[in-house]
Amino acid sequence: MKSFYITTAIDYANGKPHLGHAYEKVLTDVVARFRRLMGDEVYFLTGIDEHGQKVQQSAGERGITPIELCDEAAVAFKGLCASLDISNDDFIRTTEDRHKKVVRSILQKLFDQGDIYKAEYKGYYSKRAEQFLQEKDRDGNGEWPEIFGEVEEIAESNYFFRLSRHQEWLVEQLKTNKSFIYPRFRAKQVLEFLKEPINDLCISRPRERLEWGIPLPFDEEYVTYVWFDALVNYISAVGYGTDSFEKHWPADFHVIGKDILVPPHAVYWPIMLKAAGIALPKSLLVHGWWLKSGAKMSKSTGTVVDPLDLIDQFGSDAFRYFVTREMNVGQDSEFSQERYMSRYNSDLANDLGNLLSRVLTMVGRNFGGKIPGPRIEESLELELWTLWKDTQKKVLDLYGEFQFHSGLEKTFAFISAINRYAEQRAPWKLAKSEDPEDRKRFETSLYVMTESLRLAVGLLEPVMPNTTDKVYDLLGYTKEADWDRRLLRGDTLVGQEIGEKTILFPKPQMES
Ligand code: MSP
């Protein structure tokens, strides 16, 4: 069976991981976990992009070698994945032999076919974007946009990849293959870019200017342009040229930020693959940016939020919840500490955490720690079960369309409904009543609260896997193999022994 193959962009090795990198990994992980729960065999790749001028320069400034810098970055980014509970199957580094071999073999193939030629290059180059620029990249005032940083003019002999001969094919491809770019509105941006003739792509840098790269197989005086090198990671990691390649390729999703859609992923990559005779990935899932005070959070503007601080303070599930709940995948989102605290306190600590504490306390106190069974069904119970059915269906549909923020909103609306049910039933009052009907209601209410809590956390599993497992454990629930079954209402909890009272999301001591 072919795997469901999903990738993140590979992060530049010359910076510390920040919220933007962490978000992309979480988003990809949520999709990966969701698909696994839906029964797919998932293969999830992430990694780092280690070559290029920026790495060489940063290493030089620090007085270390580029590979030493990359080794440090590999530890930091792998550490980020571990802290975030990312379920990746592989982590690729572009300095690995398995990668370099494939880059060189693709280059040789394209060169032999006549797709690569040598010529004089004169033009502009952005070090920050590691990208050659064209006049049309200037803004309305004729300036280079901020995102390119310092732009230099260069003139040198280089190797070029014949991009332009595939322009018409690509336009056709983007027009007919409606699922190639998600969200769809981003495809318009690509078509806009392709309205003008595209230049052939300069894919080399002379070694005297840049040492830190993969030497061209047909001219060792040059190294490979970093984007040409980096994009190939998606196929080198899954064994391009070996039997295992077919098991994974084509990728189902490349998850990327909007800044690297045009031209790298939507223009260079499809054309590179087409020219090399390799199938295109099925889809690019393009997310927006995390902003700080309205601008893209990035190392170069000094506005980064360190995800590790937030994880240390609030735990990985809370971080995963926040970024998934706040970001509508197609759009940008502003980060603020206040917003983070407010989601943490109101959704996690109060709505979810207090519900669990309440249930554990009441079952512990009144039923010797064993969950009672349903004895009566009245309109309050029926309403809640109807809401559950509706929630479950809608949330799965929303997750399937990458509307995770709305899926979480619906799930938490259901959790609020359980809390409302508890207020209306008021089991703490029923406990004191002498009426036998009230006794039935009392037992039923605790069954309903525990069972609906179990169901709700089932839907949270792709986003907050630790919380789901912890709650299951505290409710004495042994996970059934199929997700479908876990999301079905039943009486599996009846008679189960609950765990010790636990605070799921402790309120942190904040400095004022
Ligand atoms: N190395 C290239 C990608 C090569 S992929 C073959 C690169 N690296 S990066 O470190 O700059 O960015 C890695 C990913 O993080 C990109 O998808 C980028 O969009 C994402 N983010 C970086 N900053 C971001 C935000 N502020 N917000 C959300 N994601 C952003 O580009």
- Residue range 317-331, pLDDT digits in tens: 999 999 999 999 989
Measured in whole angstroms, the distance separating CA 341 from the mean position of its chain's CA atoms is 22
- Tell me yes or no: is domain 336-486 CATH 1.10.730.10: yes
Which residues of the chain fall short of a pLDDT of 50? 511-512
Contact, 311 vs 83, CB < 8 A?
yes
At residue 510, the pLDDT reads 56
Edge to edge, the sheet with strand 290-292 lists 295-296, 290-292, 333-334
User: Is the beta carbon of 50 within 6 A of some atom in ligand 1?
Assistant: no
Contact, 336 vs 294, CB < 8 A?
no
Phi, psi of 10 (to 5 degrees): -95, 130
Residue 110 three-state SS: helix
Cα-to-centroid distance, 374 and ligand 1 (Å): 51
What Å distances lie between residue 414 and 46, 114, 206, 397, 488, CA to CA? 34, 60, 60, 16, 15
Please write the tens of the pLDDT for every residue from 364-422: 999 999 999 999 999 999 999 999 999 999 999 999 999 999 999 999 999 999 999 99
Q: Which two tokens stand for residue 18?
A: 């920040």
What Å distances lie between residue 133 and 128, 136, 144, 454, CA to CA? 12, 8, 9, 54
With 0-12 / 13-18 / 19 or more C-beta atoms within 10 angstroms meaning exposed / middle / buried, residue 246 is exposed
Phi, psi of 487 (to 5 degrees): -95, 5
* Nearest-angstrom CA–CA distance, 481 and 492: 14
User: Is the beta carbon of 12 within 6 A of some atom in ligand 1?
Assistant: yes
Residue 312 three-state SS: helix
Closest Cα partner for 307 from 1, 12, 17, 11?
A: 17
Residues sharing a CB contact under 8 Å with residue 85, sequence separation 6 or more, in sequence order: 29, 316, 317, 320, 465, 466
At residue 24, the pLDDT reads 98
Domain spans of the chain, in order of start: 336-486
Pairing of strands 295-296, 290-292: antiparallel
User: Is the beta carbon of 47 within 6 A of some atom in ligand 1?
Assistant: no
Handedness of CA 443, 449, 454, 458 (dihedral sign): positive
At residue 512, the pLDDT reads 44
Residues forming a β-bridge with 285: 182, 255
* Nearest-angstrom CA–CA distance, 61 and 336: 32
* Nearest-angstrom CA–CA distance, 492 and 486: 10
Tell me the DSSP string of 376-412: ---HHHHHHHHHHHHHHHHHHHHHHTT-HHHHHHHHH
Pairing of strands 4-8, 42-49: parallel
User: Is the beta carbon of 268 within 6 A of some atom in ligand 1?
Assistant: no
User: Is the beta carbon of 321 within 6 A of some atom in ligand 1?
Assistant: no
- Closest atom of ligand 1 to 234 CA is 6
Contact, 320 vs 505, CB < 8 A?
no
Pairing of strands 42-49, 11-12: parallel
pTM for this structure?
0.96
Residues sharing a CB contact under 8 Å with residue 321, sequence separation 6 or more, in sequence order: 343, 347, 348, 408, 460, 463, 464
- Closest atom of ligand 1 to 269 CA is 6
* Nearest-angstrom CA–CA distance, 88 and 82: 10
Q: Which two tokens stand for residue 440?
A: 């039935």
Edge to edge, the sheet with strand 116-126 lists 131-133, 116-126, 151-161, 201-202
- Best residue among 54, 225, 232, 256 to mutate for probing ligand 1's pocket (most ligand atoms within 8 Å of CB) is 256
Closest Cα partner for 12 from 65, 69, 62?
A: 69
At residue 296, the pLDDT reads 85
Q: Which protein residue has the closest C-alpha to ligand 1 atom 24?
A: 20
- Best residue among 21, 326, 329 to mutate for probing ligand 1's pocket (most ligand atoms within 8 Å of CB) is 21
User: Is the beta carbon of 483 within 6 A of some atom in ligand 1?
Assistant: no
User: Is the beta carbon of 474 within 6 A of some atom in ligand 1?
Assistant: no
* Nearest-angstrom CA–CA distance, 322 and 327: 8
